[in-house]
Structure 1
Amino acid sequence: MYEHTFIGLDVHAVSVAGCALAPDTGELVQAQIHSDPAVVLEWIRRFAPPVKAVYESGPTGYVLARFLREAGIDCVVAASSKLLRAPGDKVKTDKRDARLLAEMLAVGSVTEVRVPTREQEDLRDLSRLRATAAKDLAHARQHVNAILLRHGIRYPKETKWTKEHLLWLHRQRFDSPVLQFTYEADVEQAELLAAHLKRIDQRVAQTAKDCQYTAVVEALMCLRGIQVTTGFGLAVEIGDWTRFTGATIGSYLGLVPSEQSSGQSRHQGPITKAGSKYGRKLLIEAAWQHRRPYARPGARLLGQLDLVAPATWIRALEGNHRLHRKWEQFDARKKRSVTANTAIARELAGWCWSLAAPLQPGNA
């Protein structure tokens, strides 16, 4: 017999729809309550323990889950992409969603997501701030390039956004006062965003030196293509590396092929793109660096290897050589570069796991 009362919560910014299910009797209790965690806790405590609650991951974050756990309530957060819904179910309401969550929790069909601590979530927000700033800067620079391209103006050198290039940009003049204002505003925006990104990078580097992920970041930076912002981003996005193995980390990040197989037929398609989009992007970008010629570590890597234990730098050197050899094999087979790089990124995820997991609490 079931001993728990299972509670599904459909959480929104202002209100929460709750559904309590007692599987041994089949009794359902539904309510519409305020989203204040204290109010939710008061409603949950109306039911005799043991009680287990669940709500769907979303924009409301993990505040409620942490609050309930601190109050002694077993609360989990369900992965929204893994919730089962019948294809013929065309009616979706808050009460029905809460009941569905309670029923899935009762039969053990909820796929839980990891609930980070407040400190871990703060670090992740800093990393994602950096990603947003880099994206905004790329868009701003593209606006400048587009204006010049539309008017037939081309910078004579290949390397752009250097000091020399910026001076050249400021010398450009247009006959139309309106166009001149627009152009200067776009250039100014690009310069402001570049300074903003530089300030964030400095903060990331400072934080990475003294946080709970410092050892992991230093280990990841022993791999080519991974510097402090990338290493910090991967460390805070994955969080607990011990949840995975070298074979499953790629699947978690959506770097494995999708598949549709039936009977004797098997078809593999594009990668699943599940999990953290930002973590996957960081690995894809880092994987390109392993295509470059490599014989021995450069100055940056040599300095980084001095900061880690011998077992870590030996493993990192093995990974660097292995990944470069894989790139050479793909190039020799004339493999499509984008496809090859995705495969390298998937293997790079495994090498990152092999460096990070032994350094996590309880595995050092």
Structure 2
Amino acid sequence: MRLYLLALKPTDSVTEGFLPAAARLGLAVTLLTDRPEAHRQAVPHAEVLECDVRDFRAVISRIATHHAPDAVFTNSDHLQTQAALAADYFGLPGKPWQAALRAKDKAQMRRHLAATGADTVRSAELGPAQDPAVLARASGVPYPCVVKPREGVASEDVVLADGPEELVAHCAETRARRPGEALVVEEYLSGQLFTLETLGDGRVRHVLGGFRTELSPPPHFIEERMTFVRAYPEAVTEQVLAQLDALGVGFGACHTEFVVGADGRARLIEVNYRAIGDQCDLLLAELLDVPLFAHVLRTHLGEPLPADLGARADGAARLEYPCADRAGTLTAAPEATDLAVDGVRLAYRPLRALGERHALHRTNRDFLGVVRATGTDQTAVDRAVDDFLGAHRWEITP
């Protein structure tokens, strides 16, 4: 059976998760990408074909002129609609392209949730040629508000504005970095930030748990720490799932970010119609002791998920992301490490090499590395992570 996997840049989710899972399933994999050399270096033995994967027509043509497909899949935020359209064209299982589009387009997500009565967040869309000063005066969005790219990802260029002048300034700064892109301005939703990780086959949907997310101080929203949450109060989970149902999201993996306010109301921040990234998916598979990546691929092959995944229910986990606080060259950092201490398995993986020079992005592109720790006792997990962070240093030389 042949799997076509659409990708942009190489990611840990693909190289360490989905490709090994495909090999264990005995699948022949063809990787379609607009960055073929990067993938050939990351996975030298994979079949990699160059393709304008952002264009669904190019994807369909590339597949049609190669081997017959049994599944079309992507774990990229940017390519879900293209993969869904290609799968539908070839009559293969996949996500509804309309749901993929609603999840990716943050303005459309807000409009659809409001139209279905699922939730209403005051928001406005700013087209590439529109004057943000007009929006600042007449949008009806209260302050503070959040400015974000309409089709952005990973808190990239997401920033808090306390008033009209900040709103206009942030729009100008974002447009300078992302010319031609539409922006969304929406009311700031206060509350603790969480994620919900789900996996469905269109018939059943499993809730895998989620993460409590700790963010950097405003005005930016950098995810600095993730702590596993085995289960939320039933009312919270039901609210999130009802909003996903309204969006038509229920097939394959989905990573949903939401806040819970003081009144217990759960409100969506964004829906990433894919498996969670930044190595959280690798940790989740280990923590739950399930073949998570294989299950995701099986849904795209048309196989039903088991009624019970057999996931472990006694796990505790935390991820920590040492983060650059300035532009410059990384001159000190620990090497990749694996430890076992007091019943905790800890892994550290560098995300930036010594000697590399980078600008300051104020997003997860500033991550220097990731610490993953799993066990059965949260106190022991936290202690192991804190001890590791305290014993090592990361230095940036301007």
The structure whose residues are more often strand, as a share, is 2
The structure whose residues are more often helix, as a share, is 1
Whose radius of gyration is greater, 1 or 2? 1
TM-score between both structures, scaled by the size of structure 2:
0.24
